[in-house]
């Protein structure tokens, strides 16, 4: 049974899902050294933002197949090291979107109405009203920096509250911004015009200290800044000083360059500074969403299925993945088959999506085909994460094409491997019940389901050959489950495909190749 370590506190709903397929150990008190010591026995690790999944942790986890982050940001995980080691890293890109957006809105209103300070004042026995005169957000200008999932929801709600919206996001079209009621502008305009600025961006080299002494100096003395995205995108000393000396009107921060927040000037700013300890995603609903989302993906990967939100393999939305999943299995099976037929070193893999399959995203199908192709050489070391890298390192050229004019089945996939020992091709399709069929081998039409053990022969189409193979297998006690012959012309060349119940011993294969009229024979293990 697989073993999963949960090293931060996550919702029970996620643990319940994992427990269906694995032994789950929850240990939220591990020091970095203890984690390194514990990780070798685990197949999966599930974390929130508390656990630092460093290179050392990942390298010690020699059984690890997947690391799940119950949340959006994966900045606490060394993703490049995980990718190199073929470990899938998954997150929950949407599970806490609403929670984080609502927290940003709550911070904006708290700041503009002095709610935290007023609360503190009443609780300390006072009744102060004059110093807590706030300001309305109605008709004020909100500058949204980062108009992704969270920024978009903030914009939608803020618009409903009567705010005017400016947005800055270099990767979003003006049309998308317009749909959300935002005017797409440059950063300068946000800095100089906005009454409120809310940040919803990742921490990257471009966004590091995006808000700094220089940008703060351009803002109105009434501007309030809200950051519920990532620490490090604001220079904390600079914003503490700017609020303290009235360069800006205030700041509400949920995230910090170093967490937990240690000694900081931010803690000493008296008024107009609202601080929360990274609570953006801390709602019951969001915690259930992210735990379920990530646990389901860990379960799928442990069962050998692809994950829907892997950050280090081609991204697919869940609906697309659900539709594509049977084709990924088909691609992997065909990749494995063509790799075994090719035998030696494969130099080029041609991947052709045919018929209705041409409407699908080809990249995941190509990755699945490569995974199958390389599985003979790399066994379980190859997976959806590293298949493309491994293929590239082996110098395998991949050419993908689409041909909508082929109308067999409801879409089919053709793989052609060109290698040191020649060329081979296989085509496969799915029946209406999603059953896989191999429909062509080296140009010969057939119609067989893939089987664990198979025998393929290329032979002259002449009387007696099939009987001889049948008797030979009988003599060696090899049981035939099914048999089919495909040919292009009568008495030309033909292929025979046998599904057998057990592996074919090497000496039986040698005997088969000695039968007159047999040109080639291959045993296949799928």
Ligand X SMILES: O=C(O)CC[C@@H](O)C(=O)O
Distance CA 303, CA 242 (A): 53
> Footprint of ligand NAD on this chain (CB under 6 A)?
72-73, 96-97, 100, 145-151, 168-172, 200-202, 204, 206-207, 228-230, 254-255, 278, 280-281
Task: Check if 345 is active-site.
Answer: no
Q: Which does 355 bind (CB under 5 to 8 A by kind): ligand X, ligand NAD, none?
A: none
* Residue found by looking up tokens 């007159």 in the block: 516
518, 504 Cβ separation under 8 angstroms: no
Residue number with CB closer to ligand X (73 or 449): 73
**Cβ 150 to ligand X shortest distance, Å:** 10
275, 260 Cβ separation under 8 angstroms: no
Q: Which does 149 bind (CB under 5 to 8 A by kind): ligand NAD, ligand X, none?
A: ligand NAD
Q: Hey, which residues does 24 pair with through a beta bridge? A: 4
Task: Check if 259 is active-site.
Answer: yes
Residue nearest to ligand NAD (CB): 148
CB count, 10 Å around CB of 210?
20
CB count, 10 Å around CB of 205?
5
Q: Which does 148 bind (CB under 5 to 8 A by kind): ligand X, ligand NAD, none?
A: ligand NAD
Residue number with CB closer to ligand NAD (97 or 309): 97
**Tokens (6 digits) for 166:** 């400016």
Catalytic residue among 128, 188, 206, 259: 259
Read out DSSP for 156-217?
A: HHHHHTT-EEEEE-TTS-HHHHHHTTEEE--HHHHHHH-SEEEE-----TTTTT-B-HHHHH
- Interstrand relation of 224-227 and 493-500 (parallel, antiparallel or unpaired): unpaired
Q: Which does 147 bind (CB under 5 to 8 A by kind): ligand X, ligand NAD, none?
A: ligand NAD
Residue nearest to ligand X (CB): 71
Read out DSSP for 248-284?
A: SSEEEES--SSSS--S-GGGG--SSEEE-SS-TT-SH
* Residue found by looking up tokens 């280090």 in the block: 312
Task: Check if 278 is active-site.
Answer: yes
- Helix 284-302 to helix 12-19 angle (10° resolution) is 20
**Cβ 135 to ligand NAD shortest distance, Å:** 24
**Cβ 348 to ligand NAD shortest distance, Å:** 36
Cα distances from 392 to residues 87, 297, 362, 387, in angstroms, run 18, 27, 17, 9
Q: Hey, which residues does 414 pair with through a beta bridge? A: 352, 427
**Cβ 82 to ligand NAD shortest distance, Å:** 18
- Helix H or strand E segment including 316: none
Residue number with CB closer to ligand X (47 or 142): 47
282, 70 Cβ separation under 8 angstroms: no
Residue number with CB closer to ligand NAD (25 or 188): 188
Residues written for the chain: 526
Residue number with CB closer to ligand X (68 or 411): 68
**Cβ 74 to ligand NAD shortest distance, Å:** 8
Q: Which does 178 bind (CB under 5 to 8 A by kind): ligand NAD, ligand X, none?
A: none
Q: Which does 153 bind (CB under 5 to 8 A by kind): ligand NAD, ligand X, none?
A: none
Distance of CA 48 to the CA centre of its chain: 16
Distance CA 367, CA 332 (A): 8
Residue number with CB closer to ligand X (114 or 200): 200
**Cβ 75 to ligand X shortest distance, Å:** 8
Q: Is the dihedral of CA 371, 372, 373, 377 positive or negative?
A: positive
328, 310 Cβ separation under 8 angstroms: no
> Footprint of ligand X on this chain (CB under 6 A)?
48-49, 71-73, 96, 278, 280-282
Catalytic residue among 224, 230, 352, 424: 230
Q: Which does 48 bind (CB under 5 to 8 A by kind): ligand NAD, ligand X, none?
A: ligand X
Q: Which does 254 bind (CB under 5 to 8 A by kind): ligand NAD, ligand X, none?
A: ligand NAD
Catalytic residue among 200, 203, 278, 414: 278
**Cβ 154 to ligand NAD shortest distance, Å:** 9
Residue number with CB closer to ligand X (72 or 210): 72
**Cβ 348 to ligand X shortest distance, Å:** 41
Residue number with CB closer to ligand NAD (18 or 100): 100
- Where in the sequence numbering do the catalytic residues fall? 230, 259, 278
């Amino acid at each position: 049974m697989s073993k999963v370590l949960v090293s931060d506190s996550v919702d029970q709903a996620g643990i319940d899902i994992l427990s269906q397929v694995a032994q789950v150990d929850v240990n939220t008190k591990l020091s970095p050294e203890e984690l390194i010591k514990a990780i070798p026995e685990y197949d999966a690790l599930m974390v929130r933002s508390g656990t630092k999944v460093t290179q050392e942790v990942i390298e010690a986890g020699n059984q690890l197949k997947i690391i799940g982050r119950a949340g959006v940001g994966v900045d606490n995980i060394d993703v490049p090291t995980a990718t190199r080691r073929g470990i899938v890293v998954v997150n929950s890109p949407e599970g806490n979107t609403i929670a984080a957006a609502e927290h940003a809105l709550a911070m904006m209103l708290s700041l503009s109405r002095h709610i935290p300070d007023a609360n503190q004042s009443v609780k300390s026995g006072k009744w102060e009203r004059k110093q807590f005169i706030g300001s309305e957000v109605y008709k004020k200008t909100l500058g949204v920096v980062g108009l992704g999932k969270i920024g978009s929801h903030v914009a939608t709600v803020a618009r409903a509250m009567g705010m005017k919206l400016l947005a800055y996001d270099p990767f979003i079209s003006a049309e998308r911004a317009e749909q959300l009621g935002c005017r797409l502008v440059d950063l300068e305009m946000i800095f100089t015009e906005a009454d409120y600025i809310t940040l919803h961006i990742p921490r990257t080299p471009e966004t590091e200290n995006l808000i700094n002494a220089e940008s703060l100096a351009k803002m109105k003395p009434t501007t309030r800044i809200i950051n519920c995205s990532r620490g490090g995108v604001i220079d904390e000393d600079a914003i503490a000083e700017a609020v303290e000396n009235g360069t800006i009107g205030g700041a509400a921060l949920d995230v910090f360059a170093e967490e937990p927040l240690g000694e900081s000037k931010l803690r000493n700013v008296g008024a107009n500074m609202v601080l929360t300890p990274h609570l953006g995603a801390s709602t019951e609903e969001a915690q259930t969403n992210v735990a379920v989302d990530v646990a389901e993906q860990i379960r799928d990967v442990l069962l050998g299925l692809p994950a829907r939100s892997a950050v280090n393999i081609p991204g697919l939305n869940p609906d697309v993945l659900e539709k594509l999943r049977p084709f990924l299995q088909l691609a992997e099976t065909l990749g494995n088959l063509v790799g075994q037929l090719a035998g030696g070193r494969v130099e080029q893999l041609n991947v052709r999506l045919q018929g209705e399959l041409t409407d699908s995203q080809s990249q995941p199908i190509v990755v699945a085909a490569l995974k199958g192709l390389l599985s003979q050489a790399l066994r379980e070391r190859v997976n959806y994460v590293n298949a493309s890298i491994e293929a590239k390192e082996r110098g395998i050229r991949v050419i993908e094409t689409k041909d909508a004019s082929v109308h067999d089945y409801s879409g089919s996939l053709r793989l052609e491997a060109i290698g040191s020992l020649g060329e081979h091709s296989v085509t496969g399709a799915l029946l209406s019940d999603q059953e896989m069929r191999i429909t062509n081998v080296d140009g010969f039409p057939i119609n067989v389901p893939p089987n664990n053990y198979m025998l393929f022969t290329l032979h002259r189409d002449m009387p007696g050959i099939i009987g001889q193979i049948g008797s030979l297998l009988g003599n060696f006690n090899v049981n035939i489950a099914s048999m089919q012959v495909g040919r292009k012309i009568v008495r030309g060349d033909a292929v025979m495909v046998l599904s057998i119940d057990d592996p074919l011993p090497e000496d039986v294969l040698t005997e088969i190749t000695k039968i007159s009229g047999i040109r080639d024979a291959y045993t296949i293990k799928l």
